[in-house]
Amino acid sequence: MKVAPREAGSAGARTRSDGPELWGLGATRVRFGIVVMTVSREDVVLQRPEDVRFLVPVFHTPTACAGAATAYLLRRIAYRAGAYAPGIQEIVFHELNTSREGGSIEKVQRWFSGRQTSLHELGYRLQCRRVATPTAAIMEWVRAGRGYRGAMLPTNFKKLHPTAGAAGKDVGDDAVAHAVGLTIDRLDAKGEEDLVMIDPWPGVIGEPSDRGKVPATLESAHRDRSFHALVYYWNGWS
């Protein structure tokens, strides 16, 4: 688009206060006006964390599912509280993706006890409690937390993935230290938030997904681990 210059002194010439002056080829002066827009507080819509679909990566591992699910849940809860800031603290969460720190519910519980003070110093007001509670009750507790709660449930891998060889050719179905996470999220960017299951080792057969609706077989898989679980929550949401 070409802008026709207006020469100084002409009927349509702008004053010097109209805007910045640019000199082009041929020493022709061209002036551009400045548009100023004002926005009132009534025009501003505050955006809440739950208004944005924030995708936390799920680390896939057959040997540290309890830790990988926990790392996801803690970051997801912190984001809902407006405190999650990816940075050096990611190294802390990554510890849970190892079998040494995240290989079982006992290891994760010990990790959290040792790291809770550090997490609080980073601004993560996260709490953890071990329970032995039926699956349905844990699901309702997480759902009522509106994203400020989560739960990690040790499970029987074969109950959730009954197809033989689902764990992979190099991993026996009985050897998977399986666990899943429960949180509030959107599976569809345009859909409503609902209870979602996070699976750090969804298997290798078909089209495995590490996020999905809670399957009907979860209760049976959780019962095989005596309904043990670690529940996580932000301060004030116990």
Residue ranges of domains in the chain: 60-234
Question: What is the spatial distance between Cα 14 and Cα 101, in angstroms, rounded to a whole number?
Answer: 71
Please name the residues in contact with 26: beta carbons below 8 A apart, sequence gap of 6 or more.
Answer: none
If you ran DSSP here, which 8-state letter would residue 13 be given? P
Please state the pTM of the whole predicted model: 0.76
The whole-number pLDDT of residue 50 equals: 46
pLDDT means over runs of 10, the chain (238 residues): 50 48 52 54 49 74 97 95 83 94 98 95 94 98 97 97 90 90 91 95 92 97 98 94
- Name the packing angle between helices 105-121 and 65-80 (round to 10°): 30
In sequence order, which residues have a C-beta less than 8 Å from that of residue 90 and are 6 or more positions away? Answer: none
Give pLDDT, residue 4.
Answer: 52
Alpha carbon of 157 to those of 29, 40, 171: distances in Å? 75, 55, 12
Q: What is the pLDDT of residue 57?
A: 87
Contact of 219 with 136, CB cutoff 8 Å: yes
Q: Where are the strands (E) in the chain, listed by range? A: 21-23, 29-31, 126-132, 149-154, 179-185, 194-198, 211-212, 228-234
Nearest to 61 by CA among 163, 175, 176: 176
The domain 60-234: what is its CATH number?
Answer: 3.90.70
Beta bridge partners of 153: 180
**By C-alpha distance, which of 144, 141, 143, 124 is closest to 74?**
124
Residue with tokens 């809670």: 214
CA 190 to chain CA mean position, Å: 16
Taking alpha carbons only, the member of 152, 206, 209, 150 closest to residue 178 is 152
CA–CA dist 173, 9 (Å, integer): 86
